[in-house]
Structure 1
Amino acid sequence: MRVGVFWRSVVLGVVGVLVLAGCALGPSQRPPVAVRGAAAAAPATSAAAAPADPNALPAPEPQNPLIEYSDCTADTLETVGAAGFPVPAGRVLSASCGQLEVDSDPLRPAARTTRIGVLRVSAADAPRNRPALVVVGDSAAGGSARLAARLATLVSDPVLATYQLVGLDRRGSGADLLDCAPPESRTALTDTPPAADAVMLDGVLEDARAVVQDCYLLLDSDIGTYRTAATAADLETLRTQLRVTRLNVLGLGDGATAAAEWAAAHPRSVGRLVLDSPVDLASAEPDRTEARTAAVEATFDAFAAACLARGNCPLGPDPRGAVTAVVGGLGQRPLASADGDRLTAGGALAAVRAGLPEPARWPALAAGLAAAGAGDPSGLITFLASVLGPGGTFDGALATACNDSAQRLAPPQVAQLAQRWGTRYPLFGAAAAHGLLSCGPWPTAPSDPPIVALPPETPPVLVLGTAADPRAPLTGAQRVAQLLGRSAFVSWQGAGQGAYPRNACVIALVEQTVIGGTLPRDGTVCPA
């Protein structure tokens, strides 16, 4: 798949429209809901001290940031509006952009520094010192700064009356965008056919080597610093620059995993912490990729069911069969767009995986798949633009994924996995196995300690999991909660990347935590 420079980067939404639903619990009592009337009260400046009740959450602190911000309201709101997240009527937002200087390698402080993007977005009339709720997104979903802006269009008024949202970009995205891979190698790795043979897999490994060679020439020893543990260190740096004793954080995907690692390393720095669909980095490859592949298949089933439920599904009565036929046809004959871009079977699967995290985009994804079946690839090419196009997520996501794992697989191992997974996960299994070769030549990053139990002085945290999350399997989020120990786990029986703020039940429980200062009951289940 080749994406021309004229393609605008499509911002992948990682938060969806609100779906009104109630909270469903097991045999336990119904959990309390955040008291919205208390949200506008000014937080006490003495909140930094640990609360007397070990299960109570520290109150939000006013911030006094050292970061130099400049107004970027117009550009920010235009970008998120174009991505399908307009500012609600009656809500006036203000956005300021800044940069945070961090150690390039947290394991070698003061050796070199780099700058990562920070975006502060709030109600236009918010005082400068209103407490911060830091947003850390997933490495495969673009910059956290833009995620904070999207959230500002979706969260409730009480949240904006209590906090300013501060998006902290992941390394490799936003102001620190990683752009080092040869475009032809990105394309080749994406285009690997699901039915690749041994010769093709040798070629995939060579393309992966080309990526590593070019990235190493650009980054040298910093090639290993694009990893989740580095984001954990960046969070602590941000806390010091906001000049607060305790930091309130909302993490998504492996951004939630980074926040969990930060909390374990800096327990006295933790305020109110929500981990939305954390990725289980304690599991080794290929088990981690297999679990994610099963989750992608489950998310596709939810996508297919939603298409049928809307009526007049463009994929017909059997969406899975229709998509399988589209991919099979592209394997025999790729499609060229009017602009000369080329869509292959591997590219089509990558486009589907790019669209599945955001249910708001599912109708466009279904239409693009149906159009590809009729000979028009333009819809799916648009989905790929956010990955392979200018400002795309490919390089940063690949670097983070490879640096977060010490395992490296050879072509024969991958071929065996592709055969086995192709049977277990018929749509995405083989391609997911082939993707493991992308990390084959990648240098092994310094070993980071796995997530461990939170020290007793850490305030308890809220962990969310989603039944069909294509980036973070529900079982992985549950395991993270178990490893942390001091947590309450809430599962949402919906689909898409992350549970908040997609569902009224989830919204109430998150607000109970970040506004009300108490955790919901562990084991709460929110219906779809």
Structure 2
Amino acid sequence: MVRWCGTALAALLCTVLLAGCSVGPSLRPPVAVRGEDLPAPPPPPAAAPADPDALPDTDPVRGGPTFTDCTAEVLAGLAASGTEPPEDRALAAGCGRLTVAADRARPDLGPARLGLTRITRPGAPEDLPALVVLGDTGIDGSSRAAATLAAQLPDEVLARYQVIGMDRRGSGTDLLDCAPPDARAALVDADPTSADTATMDRLLARSRAIVQDCYLMLSGTLTSFRAASTADDLEALRSALGTARLNVVGVGDGADAAAQWVTSHPEAAGRVVLDGPGDPTLDDPARTEAATASAEAAFDAFATACTAGPACPLGPDPRATVRGLLDRLSGTALPVGDGDTVTAGSTVHAVRTLLSQPARWPELTAALAAAVAGDPAGPARLLRSGGPGPPDGSPGSFDAALATRCNDSRVRTTPGEAADLAGQWGARFDLFGVAAAQQLVTCGPWPSGGTSASQSPGAPGAAPPPPVLVIGTARDPRSPQSGAERTAEQLGGGRLVRWQGAGTGAYPRTPCVTAVVDRALLEGRAPAEDVVCPP
């Protein structure tokens, strides 16, 4: 073994050898010795900047709740709602439950259980990445919204993900039914032409009865029905599924809840689509005023669609026809039988809800035309299904929607203030203005203190979320397009998609929006600039 330069003699030999090696041409590059007169070496190359339009990779599911087959039940529900999947598309559905804290700040209140529905292709791997759907409380439960979305998704998206609907609190399998029926009916049937303080006082008293009964039934969890709780539930689902990041599609106030989750847990956000969020910078009454203006614009779109046909059943001026119908029903409701009636108030509730679903506009047109002709049977069925509850008389989404709306507002309106607003809004919004002011006073007895996304910041120093797609629809009866604009601004990395269409939820109803969202979900690419999609 040779020991290099280990002794004094060896050191001398090494010196000689090294000196000898310096004679003659060298094939090695010269070695520079740094001195005061030599330039400093260049800094190391900077790391390549992160791609600002790249979305996180999808994460497989590594666990989660147990799902039992409920394919027949889900497909029957799709058939009943008129959103059956294409004939060549087979779907498999599983139903399960997620247990969460009723209130994270109050462990003593115990658990709450949320319904889950998983939709896949038959035989799909159980570890497919999850695409979680949060629906709007005023339209449909999230589980049904997930099934509806899965029936319409492009094949490539359904092959890539398992679609999981998580019910909002108080909807689906855990339906909130705490309001006294007579008090609920009083709110629904309130005359949408009555703008006086006496009417507002009566509505306040009825709402107080609802709060009292619900408080007794819910054992202190009355305030847990809010967007912030759904944001907590979404994080609990991510943890249960064992994924580092979660992919989410939120629609309507489901988008509001998903935005709060992204704000609070930016590191957990995967590929997120917020479809039709409200304006997080507004609270009542400004928020209700903006939504009412948007609902009036949605009705104009509905009227235009009707009159564009060869013979609109509502005549050449659908707004005037419906306005006349409401005036008639305010005086005399249409009797249906068994003591039930079609009232002006229930009609306003139903019309505004069904405006969110353009696929059902032909049904709405026929129902309104029948009511104008004095026939209550068809209108009663359809208007109820689009209003506070289904035809069987159960509460439907009314209780949960009321609780969520009131809990998410920090402002309470007195009967006098509501009467003043009803006078102003009634002049500006002839179909929905007075009813919107009445809704404000119904929140009077509810505990205030709702949170918004701006009040739910992430941890100090947390990394910003990845780019988030935020879709705003020009004539969305739930929220103006400015809601999406403000949401995108608050998220920092929000990428805005403006659709000049109508209804709540643009994806996948239009090719332009579908192309942008599919690219995000399949390729992990967000648009570099805001996108405007035609009607």
> What letter matches 1:479 in structure 2?
R
Q: CA deviation at 1:458?
A: 1.6
Report 1:171-320 matches (<5 A): 171-196=169-194, 197-320=196-319
Shift, 1:111, TM fit: 4.6
- 8 A Cα contact 1:451 1:483, kept in partner: no
Gaps (5+ residues) in structure 1?
A: 1-50
Distance apart, 1:523 and its partner CA: 2.1
Deviations 1:311-360 (A, max 9, x none): 21110111001001100111111110145421121121112112111011
Q: 1:250, 1:273 within 8 Å by CA — same for their partners in 2?
A: yes
SS of alignment partner, residue 528 of structure 2: coil
Cα deviation per residue 1:190-232 (whole Å; 9 max; x = unaligned)?
1111232322221111111111111011013100000000000
AA paired with 1:394?
Answer: F
1:403 aligns to 2:432 (yes or no) = no
450, 463, 480: which one aligns with 2:454: 450
Q: What is residue 499 of structure 1 aligned with on the other side? A: 506
**Correspondence for 1:337:** 336
The structure with more radius of gyration = 2
Between 1 and 2, higher relative CO (CA 8 Å, sep ≥ 6) is seen in: 1
> Is contact 1:418-1:429 (8 Å) kept?
yes
Instruction: Indicate the residue corresponding to 2:526 in structure 1.
Output: 519
Establish whether residue 459 from structure 1 lines up as the match of residue 482 from structure 2: no
* Residue 321 (structure 2) aligns with: 322
Tell me the equivalent position of 1:428.
Answer: 432
- String of CA shifts for 1:9-57, please: whole Å, max 9, x gaps: xxxxxxxxxxxxxxxxxxxxxxxxxxxxxxxxxxxxxxxxxx9535411
Aligned 8 A contact 1:142 1:392 in 2:
no
Question: In structure 1, the residue corresponding to 2:95 is in which secondary structure?
Answer: strand
The CA distance in 1 between the partners of 2:451 and 2:516, in whole Å, is 35
Instruction: Show the counterpart of 1:63.
Output: 61
**Which secondary structure does the structure 1 equivalent of 2:278 belong to?**
coil
* CA deviation profile, 1:86-140 (whole Å, cap 9, x unmatched): 1211111100000000010022347511100111001113111111101011121
- Name 2:378's counterpart in structure 1: 379
Tell me how far 1:516 sits from its aligned partner: 1.2
Task: Name the counterpart of 1:17.
Answer: none
Question: Is the alpha carbon distance of 1:446 and 1:409 closer, same or farther for their aligned partners in structure 2, counting shifts above 3 Å?
Answer: closer
1:85 equivalent to 2:83? Answer yes
How many angstroms apart in 2 are the aligned matches of 1:446 and 1:251?
19
For residues 489 and 447 of structure 1, do their structure 2 counterparts lie closer, same or farther at Cα, with a shift above 3 Å needed?
closer
Root-mean-square deviation over aligned CA pairs: 1.6
User: Which position in structure 1 is the counterpart of 2:26?
Assistant: none
Which residue of the partner structure matches residue 363 of structure 2? 364
How far residue 447 of structure 1 moved from its aligned partner, in angstroms, is 4.7
- Is this contact kept in 2: 1:466–1:474, CA < 8 A? yes
CA contact (8 A) 1:368 1:378 kept: no
C-alpha separation in 2, matches of 1:306 and 1:430? 25
Which structure 2 residue ranges, 5 or more long, are not aligned?
Answer: 1-48
Q: How many residues align?
A: 478
Runs of 4+ in structure 1 deviating by more than 6 angstroms, as ranges, are: none
8 Å CA contact 2:228–2:451 kept in 1: the answer is no
Question: 2:422 and 2:449 mapped to 1: Cα distance?
Answer: 26
Tell whether the 8 Å contact from 2:109 to 2:221 is kept in structure 1 after alignment. no
- Quote the offset at 1:145 in angstroms: 0.6
Report the CA distance between 1:64 and its aligned residue.
2.0
Q: 1:310 to 1:333 in 2, by over 3 A?
A: same
Q: Distance in 1 between matches of 2:58 and 2:108?
A: 31
Task: Quote how far apart the aligned CAs of 1:446 are.
Answer: 5.8
Measured in 1, the distance between the counterparts of 2:142 and 2:398 equals 16
The 3-state SS of whatever aligns with 1:62 is coil
| Percent pairwise identity | 50
Distance (whole Å) between structure 1 residues aligned to residue 395 and residue 70 of structure 2: 19
